[in-house]
Structure 1
Amino acid sequence: MNSSRFEISIGEALSAHGLIVRGGFNFGPEERAPQGPSGSPARAVVVVGQAGASAWPHFLAWRERQPKELRDPLDTWAREVIGAVAAQVGARAVSPSDRPFVPFQQWAMRAEGLRASPLGLLMHPRYGLWHAYRGALLFDTEIEVAAGEEAVHLCDACVAKPCLKSCPVGAYSGTGFDYAGCRSQLHSGAGRQCMSSGCLDRLACPYGAAYRYPTDMQVFHMKAFVA
């Protein structure tokens, strides 16, 4: 695939839905790659996602046309959109929630050179913690895109680490995430602030403030987590 097809056909198709290319790379000959569109092991992957709330208005407009009882609407929307783009460019679309699971976080780290924050979310030098990966495109042929070089990791320069000090139940620590403690807090009356504004630890991060999700988007994600 030539670079113009990669940048124009894929990028423009995604931008109509508020999504962007988040990098890509070619699989090495010794790697166990998932199936490409032909059924043979893929030769390349392009990671798809969003920066800030860029995709949110597009999702909301789509959601209004769907049944209220639809389960996992954001995943459903992303599959629909990225699947349509895949059909345009001769790729196979995969989602982070598809089974068998593919190593999306490793792909993202390789594609953009990112590292995990103390919260487990990947820290982006521009977007901070306010970005997401919604899917990927698998190709039967190699693509002309360089693998991401390691980006500046903002967490290294952050001494205060407010992201580890703002949760009322200390759900995040240097040793992992207290899933049960977090859910228990959110299900109780004490978790109203978290449910109405978003994860307090994530909000405490000083980076990428211009890309911070709007309140309704954060509430949506909190409700999905509790459910």
Structure 2
Amino acid sequence: MNYETLKSAANALHLDILGGFHPALDDTDLDGFGTLLMLGPLEPAFWTHFKTQKEYLDGGPNPVDRWSSRVVTALATALGGHPFFPYSGPPYMPFYQWALRTERCHSSPVNLLVHDRAGLFVSFRGALALRQHVELPDSPPSPCETCPDRPCISACPVDAFASGSYDVAACRKVIRDDGPACCLTRGCAVRRACPASQGYGRLEEQSSYHMRVFLENDP
């Protein structure tokens, strides 16, 4: 089974391989696996497809997570692998660290993950662990290396990333007030400002949905 075959199998389910790596001997969470593939939405048509799915239509809670569990598990079963999910836990799998190990995700100037193709819109619906060692394509450099203006740094209307850590309370306030940057209806201004994000094709409706979920989960 080669990488292109795996990518085609994921794409058929409206998922994309956003990177992968070969686990080390001391990766206790991945003991016995030769390859881990990180899976995200296949843009730009993911949201249009998702809105036709039973998890979106049934009115139940957490539709995106339920869809991800069903689809990624089915893919893993078909390929003889094992699924992992960022929302399953505790214990929670180290998706942030896994993403960095793919060398297709990097820490951006605002400390959010940035992907070579998805930019700051990178998100993971799951990961697929396979027993075999699959040859992976070379990883492109970080898009931040060729981004002289770095608009992400100044895009947030409340400077929620200015301190070097994420000011969640300030972020939620501007979303709730639906301020000038229209974070609630258009998605995070910082993520939208990234040049790599702008070429990814993420629908504003999809970003708005996730921002509303973020507000609903305000403790």
Q: TM-score range by the shorter chain?
A: 0.7 to 0.9
| 2:58 paired with 1:67 | yes
Contact 2:19 2:104 in 1 (8 A): no
Rate the CA distance shift 1:90–1:64 in 2: closer, same or farther, 3 A.
closer
Among 142, 165, 175, which residue is 2:164 paired with?
175
Shift of 1:81: 0.6
Unpaired runs of 5+ residues, structure 1, are: 36-40
Among 187, 192, 207, which residue is 1:203 paired with?
192
RCO higher in structure (CA 8 A, sep ≥6): 1
Deviation larger for 179-188 or 84-93: 179-188
SS in 2 for 1:21: strand
CA distance in 2, matches of 1:30, 1:73: 35
- Alignment: residue pair count: 215
In structure 1, the partner of 2:26 is 30
| 2:79 paired with 1:81 | no
In structure 2, the partner of 1:117 is 108
In structure 2, the partner of 1:20 is 16
Contact 1:130 1:208 in 2 (8 A): yes
Rate the CA distance shift 1:156–1:26 in 2: closer, same or farther, 3 A.
closer
Rate the CA distance shift 1:65–1:49 in 2: closer, same or farther, 3 A.
closer
Percent identical residues: 29
CA distance in 2, matches of 1:64, 1:42: 30
CA distance in 2, matches of 1:106, 1:90: 24
Shift of 1:66: 3.6
Deviations 1:193-223 (CA, angstroms, capped at 9, x unpaired): 2211111122222234221421211111110
| 2:146 paired with 1:138 | no
SS in 1 for 2:29: coil
In structure 1, the partner of 2:80 is 90
In structure 2, the partner of 1:190 is 179
Rate the CA distance shift 1:108–1:169 in 2: closer, same or farther, 3 A.
same
In structure 2, the partner of 1:156 is 145
TM-score of the pair, normalised by structure 2: 0.85
SS in 2 for 1:96: coil
Shift of 1:29: 2.0
Shift of 1:63: 4.6
CA distance in 1, matches of 2:101, 2:167: 27
In structure 1, the partner of 2:208 is 219
CA distance in 1, matches of 2:71, 2:4: 17
Deviation beyond 4 Å, 4+ runs, structure 1:
none
CA RMSD of aligned residues (A): 2.5
CA distance in 2, matches of 1:146, 1:16: 19
Which residue identity is paired with 2:67?
W
Rate the CA distance shift 1:93–1:197 in 2: closer, same or farther, 3 A.
same
CA distance in 2, matches of 1:223, 1:114: 25
Unpaired runs of 5+ residues, structure 2, are: none
